[in-house]
A and B are shown apart, each in its own frame.
Chain A
Amino acid sequence: MNITRVLSPIGLGLLLGVVAFIVFGPLLNLALWAFAEQWFYPNRLPTGWGFSFWERVFRPRAGAWTSLFNTVLVAFSAVILSMALAIPAGYALARQALPARNVIMLLFLLPQAFPNLPIFVNIAAIFYQWGLNGTLIGVVLVHSLPGLVYAVWIATAAFSTVDRSLEEAARNLGASPLRTFIGITMPQALPGLLAASIFVFLDSIDEFTGTFFVGAPEITTLPLLMFNASMGGNYQVAAITALILLIPSVGFMLVIERFLKADVLSRVGR
């Protein structure tokens, strides 16, 4: 079989065009809905364009501002909480001789290895008894579960790539353990820790299931707002919210390789 002839430049261009349509067509369709004021069957394109739905979404006292504020607040809190727990844990898992280290690592792997919906359902039932359902604290906690898992794994990998001889040199020159950690270890682990923070942040912004069970209806985040608008048949509002949610996701996709260096990636899970 002569694959070179089949994939002649024209065929290749056509094939890539189809791939581009599969990737961008759905996104374009979403963007059209965000700016469509009138779009009825059988018109292929909207018959009225404009920003009136954007005004409706971002009217003062409309739900979107509260949702946006909740989303950002919860995401930053989840990052701070996860990293505060993961940095010491990652350091210890990378450096200290821990009893049952493999069991601990496995415990931090399980949440990603099995479907998490039953977990969220039961967290909601437990939080209900503790009075945490429908509170921001409850939502931050439920967002920190997937966050913590990423954070511990990436932090462990980041700390294990740190050059130990530099630390020993600092110690020999008289630096205290804490100063060595802050001055030598942290700067080297920082890119990995930043990547972990970004992962936690993105995961929290996109988180739907946990918020659905623990937060709703009192706490609305952007994904819930989008979901409700879509289920209510309001495609314009849903599309506008979806576009806002796309900004951090696509932005991070474009820069991922600058943050997650191959040497850290290759140590995840070791």
Chain B
Amino acid sequence: MTTSPSPTYSMAMPGKRFPRISLGILLVLPALTAITLLYALPLLRSLVTAFRDNDGGWTTDHLVRAFSLYGRDVLFSIGVVSAALVLIAVISIAIAGYLVLGTTPWAVRFLRWLYRWPLFIPFVVSGQIARSFLSTNGMMNGVLIETGLMMSESAQSFLDWRGLVLTFAWKQIPFVTLLLAGAMAAIDRSHIEAARNMGASRLRCLFGIILPQAAPTLWVGLILSLVAMLSVLSVPMMLIAGNPTMMTSMMAHRITYYGDYGVANALGLFSYALTAVTAWIYLRLTLRREVAS
């Protein structure tokens, strides 16, 4: 049979006269322009401004000043974020593990319905929720006192670093759990069944078989949570009145009160560095895993 083009095929030909590559670039170009103007340009400006003095010369003054003025806030941020990440990891593993290994159907169904509620609640709303729930006469202390778990004299406000950790965890646990439970559900059930048949306890199954396979997803969830916590401005502004506080709060402070973009951008550089270090550790871990397997 000959391969002479049918009439329909030749009708489709005009589209092929354009080289495909240029059409593709044409389609991507508007979005690329937008991301360049809205992201690459401000990013470049933030990096450059951190190293520029008023006369346009290069300097490291802003970095030094940022560290001497806000070193405590940087350490405070690292501490809060680390504590929150540990809490998020532990509880997400517990919830996702129970969702996969739980043997009481009603409890699994109920927990699956329950844990997701804070998933899309805005940070700014979480901040307000924490302000009322965690304050000295908030509902948390109220319930603890009414149930006899705490004396009313020892009621205290949690609106400090503990409030930040709890609020961040409350907001981010559903997100990490959603990712982790998805990854755990995708694991070959036969591995789990085999281990269970050999007499492994459910805890042993979770930490020996399921978690190692789902660990990359957990890491991704934790890194995304880290970025979210280092980005959010509203929660630290609403929960922490004085010093030390999160870096974001101090950046905003530096700009609204002093118009000092140099020091603010130098602080921004610290938050980039913090994320970059974590991402680097993650990449090293995954690379080692890939080499090993």
Q: Judge whether A209 and B45 touch: CB under 8 Å.
A: no
Q: Judge whether A123 and B227 touch: CB under 8 Å.
A: no
Does B248 lie at the interface of the complex (its beta carbon under 8 Å from any beta carbon of A)? yes
Bound Cα distance A177, B12 (Å)? 7
Q: Residues of A contacting B28 with CB < 8 Å?
A: 88-89, 92-93, 98, 104
Q: Which of B31, B114, B137, B279 contacts A113 (CB 8 A)?
A: B279
**CB closest chain-B residue, reference A91:** B27
* Chain A binder among B64-72, B191-199, B208-216, B263-271: B263-271
Q: Residues of A contacting B140 with CB < 8 Å?
A: 25
Rounded to whole Å, the gap between the CB of A222 and the closest CB of chain B is 9
Q: Judge whether A125 and B43 touch: CB under 8 Å.
A: no
Q: Residues of B contacting A123 with CB < 8 Å?
A: 38, 42
Q: Which of B115, B139, B272 contacts A23 (CB 8 A)?
A: B115
Does A188 lie at the interface of the complex (its beta carbon under 8 Å from any beta carbon of B)? no
Q: Which of A20, A99, A172 contacts B9 (CB 8 A)?
A: A172
Q: Judge whether B23 and A96 touch: CB under 8 Å.
A: yes
- Of the listed residues A96, A126, A245, A256, the one surrounded by the most CB atoms of chain B closer than 10 A to its CB is A96
Does A131 lie at the interface of the complex (its beta carbon under 8 Å from any beta carbon of B)? no
Q: Residues of A contacting B62 with CB < 8 Å?
A: none
Q: Which of A1, A89, A202, A213 contacts B30 (CB 8 A)?
A: A89
Bound Cα distance A256, B139 (Å)? 30
- Of the listed residues A91, A126, A141, A238, the one surrounded by the most CB atoms of chain B closer than 10 A to its CB is A238
Q: Judge whether B117 and A23 touch: CB under 8 Å.
A: yes
Does B11 lie at the interface of the complex (its beta carbon under 8 Å from any beta carbon of A)? yes
Q: Residues of B contacting A227 with CB < 8 Å?
A: 124, 127, 234, 237-238
Q: Which of B27, B35, B45, B138 contacts A96 (CB 8 A)?
A: B27
In the complex with contacts A29-B132, A89-B31, A171-B12, A117-B251 CB distance below 8 A: yes
**CB closest chain-B residue, reference A93:** B28
Q: Judge whether B45 and A126 touch: CB under 8 Å.
A: yes
Bound Cα distance A224, B234 (Å)? 9
Interface residues on A, range: 35 or more
Q: Judge whether A114 and B132 touch: CB under 8 Å.
A: no
| Contact digits for A79-111, partner B, Cβ 8 Å, 1 yes 0 no | 000001110110111011111000010011011
Bound Cα distance A246, B27 (Å)? 36
Q: Which of A42, A104, A122, A126 contacts B137 (CB 8 A)?
A: A42
Q: Judge whether A145 and B39 touch: CB under 8 Å.
A: yes
| Contact digits for B167-197, partner A, Cβ 8 Å, 1 yes 0 no | 0001000000000001000000000000000
Q: Residues of A contacting B129 with CB < 8 Å?
A: 26-27, 29-30, 242
Q: Residues of B contacting A86 with CB < 8 Å?
A: 31
Q: Residues of A contacting B292 with CB < 8 Å?
A: none
Contact residues of B: prevailing secondary structure: helix
Does B75 lie at the interface of the complex (its beta carbon under 8 Å from any beta carbon of A)? no
Bound Cα distance A41, B279 (Å)? 46
Rounded to whole Å, the gap between the CB of B278 and the closest CB of chain A is 10
Q: Judge whether B114 and A88 touch: CB under 8 Å.
A: no
| Contact digits for B15-27, partner A, Cβ 8 Å, 1 yes 0 no | 1000011011101
**CB closest chain-A residue, reference B246:** A117
Does B244 lie at the interface of the complex (its beta carbon under 8 Å from any beta carbon of A)? no
Q: Residues of A contacting B9 with CB < 8 Å?
A: 172
Bound Cα distance A123, B23 (Å)? 30
Q: Judge whether B34 and A148 touch: CB under 8 Å.
A: yes
Q: Residues of B contacting A252 with CB < 8 Å?
A: 120
Q: Residues of B contacting A25 with CB < 8 Å?
A: 133, 139-140, 143
Q: Residues of B contacting A177 with CB < 8 Å?
A: 12, 15
Q: Judge whether A89 and B265 touch: CB under 8 Å.
A: no
Q: Which of chain B's residues 232-283 have a Cβ closer than 8 Å to chain A?
A: 232-234, 237-238, 248, 251-252, 255, 261, 264-265, 267-269, 271-272, 275-276, 279
In the complex with contacts A123-B42, A125-B261, A152-B31 CB distance below 8 A: yes
Q: Residues of B contacting A89 with CB < 8 Å?
A: 27-28, 30-32
Q: Judge whether B46 and A19 touch: CB under 8 Å.
A: no
Bound Cα distance A148, B35 (Å)? 8
In the complex with contacts A88-B31, A93-B28, A112-B227, A119-B203 CB distance below 8 A: no
Q: Residues of A contacting B248 with CB < 8 Å?
A: 115, 117, 209
Q: Judge whether A121 and B261 touch: CB under 8 Å.
A: yes
Q: Residues of A contacting B279 with CB < 8 Å?
A: 113
Bound Cα distance A16, B224 (Å)? 27
Rounded to whole Å, the gap between the CB of B175 and the closest CB of chain A is 11
Bound Cα distance A85, B30 (Å)? 6
Does B122 lie at the interface of the complex (its beta carbon under 8 Å from any beta carbon of A)? yes
In the complex with contacts A91-B27, A112-B224, A239-B232 CB distance below 8 A: no
Q: Residues of B contacting A142 with CB < 8 Å?
A: 38
Q: Residues of B contacting A144 with CB < 8 Å?
A: 34, 38
Q: Which of chain B's residues 139-162 have a Cβ closer than 8 Å to chain A?
A: 139-140, 142-143, 146
Q: Residues of B contacting A24 with CB < 8 Å?
A: 117
Rounded to whole Å, the gap between the CB of A168 and the closest CB of chain B is 10
Bound Cα distance A3, B205 (Å)? 13
Does B52 lie at the interface of the complex (its beta carbon under 8 Å from any beta carbon of A)? no
6 new A-B contacts, CB < 8 A, other than A91-B27, A119-B42, are A117-B271, A121-B252, A123-B38, A206-B120, A246-B121, A265-B182
